Structure 1
C-alpha cells in the first residue's frame, strides 16, 4: 500500500494497524493520519527499533492487507 492509498483509506485500516502495533495509541493514530513515515517513526519510538526494521514491518503488514 503506497502512502497516498494508505492516507486515503486510513480510517478503514487504522484498526488493523493498532492490532499489529498495539503500543500505538489512538492519539498516535490521529497524528499519523496514514502517513507512512510518521507511522514508521511512531513504531520506532514505541518499540525501540531501528528505522529499517520499522519499514520492514510495515512492508510485511502491507503485503498481508
Structure 2
C-alpha cells in the first residue's frame, strides 16, 4: 500500500466522523463536508491518486 491509499482510508474515517457529528449537531455544512471527505477518501484508496487531484476532479463534476 502506498501513502495515498493510507491517506484515503484516514480520509474516510475522518469524513464519516464529520458526517455523524454534523447530523448530531444539526450542522448541514459539517455533514456535507464529511460526505465529501468520505467520497474523496474512497476514491483515493481505490485508485491511489493524490487528494488534490481527486478533489479537483470531483469539484469539476
**Bigger radius of gyration:** 2
Higher helix share: 2
Bucket of the pairwise TM-score, normalised by the shorter protein: 0.3 to 0.5
TM-score normalised by the chain length of structure 2: 0.43
